[in-house]
Structure 1
């Protein structure tokens, strides 16, 4: 059974081109061998590790802000510190909250490699606990799913600059993460990021996540910044940030990611080394080969070798094409 699910998921991962479809397919495969009653499979910003694009089926639609807030406040199996997949152990506010909905166990996994954290997964079970075989099944697919998620994110950086610009929007949330105000264009963004069921209002899940991270910062639970970058559509990347206005109000801004903000995601998605990332950042501000060699303390020949490696990883042939993809300009 373990070999079958792993082989099936590896085939799905090899064919995957888009992260939402991949997550749905992986959940389908897991459901055949691991019984679960609900799930949250959340894409994260690989650098800040904040959730930005959830795929979820939860029995608590009216309490989603409360569940997300409790998840971020908990240190039990928090994806930012999670190693291999694990089930619930020890007391936590998140566990206490889930028990009110009849959830008896949660199997958590983080999809992480040397380039960052790409997603986390929570499988909920009612009336029983996950067995060691369930944990092993999820662990067996971690590596191929991580590689495929990173490849899908790389694929969002098209060969040409995005054809459109998008205007910034703002949501205002109260201390319980309920929306108390928003700008006019916000709903259109939210429908694209997390498409709701036909006829339903969009759920601002990305906003809930960054706001919950702000609260986690303030509580001393986690130091990652309350910010995440997420692909909207057609090569457009957004930056979602949370900041406190006053004791009772959190502002969440959603705006097109700057060229500098795109570079970090781009380099991680394509698997750049630290030296290659440094080179790309310097190229982005206009450095030529001589300047790169001088400031990076390399020979011009070594700079060219690094460029060849970057070109091979990104399937481009020129610096102009590289920067168009990375910066979106």
Structure 2
């Protein structure tokens, strides 16, 4: 199901749970470069606790997705030697849900970090995740990563809708990630990113993720920038960023989150990663998007024109296109 990453994840989870049962899960797609969460799919006991869960997840070093290898499945019981209170997120939240083990894995390849998946076990009859559970999950990780990348690649083949000119969406949050206020544009963007029932407020999941990353950066837990790029629909990609505002006497130093159309260079970088280009191929596509022809690319890269054409054939195959015009359209939007 190219371009429909939520459908891909839902179908995959249904298959996984037939082999490795779980009582709840959190599956978040991430920006491939910054590793910051962008598109969540979750089944958890209480959505009201979502800001707390996200904040604690980002501030917990234990089994953090940024420290796991791409072929590794770690468990909370294993990482803590059975002393679950060593984990901040378990000590302050998951314990209240009765969670007694979490299997954590990251979807990472040579092109970047594409997401992380946590499976929770909390039912009294559920046992801790076994060695065979971990082996099965590890065996499907490469295919999961490839499927997600393919679904994201499909979003670039859709002609990009014209971005509105009404400025960026802005949200203000405090350090507990409680939403203080937001612009009307923010409400519109959030509803587009995560469908919301009429009469209900949209869930600001992506804003919570970048804000939580800012807290992790400030706390020295992680060094990645508090920004994420994600697909909005209609071939459009957004860029979401968090920054600390100057403190006010009454509110303190709030966190501002902006949601705006991804600049061409940001879209291009993600596109080159999802279709699996090498560093040299990315450089070549960058020159094509900038308007260079074969001769110009050859001169800049210091290679022959025949070599440029060889690279282009490889790029076309990876991108699933047969012309420079289509490649540039997909890359630039």
Q: Same fold (TM over 0.5)?
A: yes
Q: Is the contact made by 1:226 and 1:242 (CA closer than 8 Å) also made in structure 2?
A: yes
Give 1:266's aligned residue: 271
- Aligned counterparts, 1:67-146, within 5 A: 67-83=53-69, 84-88=72-76, 89-90=79-80, 91-97=86-92, 98-126=94-122, 127=124, 128-146=127-145
In the alignment, does 2:281 pair up with 1:276?
yes
- Cα distance between partner residues in 1 of 2:18 and 2:180: 41
- Cα distance between partner residues in 1 of 2:158 and 2:324: 12
- Cα distance between partner residues in 2 of 1:291 and 1:164: 30
CA deviations on 1:30-55 (whole Å, 9 max, x unpaired) are 22122211111111111111110000
Q: Residues 227 and 17 of structure 1: is their aligned pair in 2 closer, same or farther, counting only changes over 3 Å? A: closer
Gap regions ≥5 residues in structure 1: 1-14
Partner of 1:39, secondary structure, is: strand
- Cα distance between partner residues in 2 of 1:197 and 1:165: 24
How many Å apart are 1:198 and its aligned residue?
Answer: 6.1
Could you tell which deviates more after superposition, 15-24 or 244-253?
15-24
Q: 1:47 aligns with which of 33, 36, 40?
A: 33
Give 2:250's aligned residue: none
Q: Is the contact made by 2:158 and 2:235 (CA closer than 8 Å) also made in structure 1?
A: no
How many Å apart are 1:16 and its aligned residue?
Answer: 5.8
CA deviations on 1:157-212 (whole Å, 9 max, x unpaired) are 0253x132134201111111111010012222212212245653211000000111
RMSD between superposed Cα atoms in Å? 1.6
Q: Which runs of 4 or more aligned residues in structure 1 lie more than 6 Å from their structure 2 counterparts after TM superposition? A: none
Q: Is the contact made by 1:159 and 1:321 (CA closer than 8 Å) also made in structure 2?
A: no
How many Å apart are 1:74 and its aligned residue?
Answer: 1.3
Q: Is the contact made by 1:174 and 1:180 (CA closer than 8 Å) also made in structure 2?
A: yes
Give 1:165's aligned residue: 163
- Cα distance between partner residues in 2 of 1:246 and 1:136: 48
How many Å apart are 1:24 and its aligned residue?
Answer: 0.4
